[in-house]
Structure 1
């Protein structure tokens, strides 16, 4: 199967949409406009963005776009049918966080049309297909986004899936940082004061990690916490590999919102007492809201206790350095001590393909030899 790539028009569209998404980290009221533009630009007839508490399921934020009020009011009445149409609660729980799921690709139409939800809600609106994504899923909250496709547009295709996959990491970053900020909105006039009220450590840096400013919590962390370090005016994290991941994420953020991908979400950093913490990077150079907040800063770095579900080590590296699934498999094999030849044989790929993946791993992780990759793996071996 050939790799799907976006057209120049889609690349411009993504840049604009991601900019809107990131501005929502500082002003959650922007989600209504952002969701509306995403669903229109990707060719959906409606969309829903929800954050709710776990395990009680109380909504913290519920935004809809393109759903008539009479239908929006009736959504809670169809909860059981909505779960059943995707194959049941157990199947839904097994869906990977961050991976868009398309209903017509997951289940035959014949298995989900014989419900009151379909007859009373889906069919009257002319909906022919659905996409759903679990954005975050941890012990405190769950976030998801879903879209519907009208019959006039046909079933959801490769373009919608591809663009959704590119958007999801940026939505994940925004939701995570927005929860840390816990504010309704931040304006340039009160930016510093608002950050000082945030419990998480927040440091504004330029593209070289030179510290532009730090909030009260971050300054306290730098004294002896270990998760954040002021190294002669430059920000470092607890561990060389974590600092490398941070440097690469901030460098990509300076290149533009789209380039950041999954980098800079949940970088693990160790505190002095051994308790785990994570760092998240928010680009500040672009966007209608962010670009005017802090002169000289390219990114905001947030550090907070790690309270989510731990990732497997390969998943951690993949998220930190934006590795493809194939690159992650090669990385994991090499981290386990296999030679490149053994890796190729184990994965069922040619040696030339394995070498190509290895070169990309070097470029993305800032390493030059396999031994350095193994050391990188060792630095993240302790589970969060």
Structure 2
């Protein structure tokens, strides 16, 4: 039931059936997951990147096969295989294509397919290998369904625990699809809504663009995703807010897998005490940057502050550029508007 162990399980099954490797794809509510063994990782990653342009004929046939393991040769005629876009058009030219798989579904919405792939020169799995796979099928099916359910339930427990300490939180995928969200997050509709396919959408276009960039950074392994902040400006009918992503680690990562991240939304109105230290923690600023941001939000100017603090104007301009980057703003007026919506910052008369 642990995501990182599925590739090893699939490799073991491939070993005892004389195959190259295996793959698992599942969906449970808005959560999706994969497990691909090392022996076929390259070909399946290439296929997944190419699949949007191809019609998938394998999965519907597998789902109609009463849940048992079935071979390509059981579900396609030779003429069909000779023209099928998945096999004749992709796997066969690359030396693969003798696939054996099963489909799993449950009443609560879990659906999955598990495939064992043989090289083309090896031919299809024989009847003895097929019987062995169908002997293992009940155990594999139970494990897949439990794995998918456990992930969703664990995600809910994570966000509910964070709500008890005041965080509006959701567990989302790298594509921005919600796996689970607590009540506080669901009440954040002034800033963020759930769009088509469970995908998070910010009402503010600039914030939505920033979210896409941060999720891309997560996928690329760019650590800036964890230090950046999405700034949501104040409007006539809502206060300003900030959103940020946080990695999932430890036991939670073992259960939820690499695809899941935390997202937190914090309204800025009603903040009890907006000190430079709070700004430092909220936006990952240095102490000097937080002091500058707080002073500007209170109505100070760069030249005035440079004189008061005995610093050069250029030093403060450098700090301000860093503040812009970390608060996802690009003009001083935009920064002041964001921070000025925090009522504990008192602006000069």
Tell me which structure has the larger Cα radius of gyration. Answer: 2
TM-score, normalization by structure 2: 0.39
TM-score, normalization by structure 1: 0.36
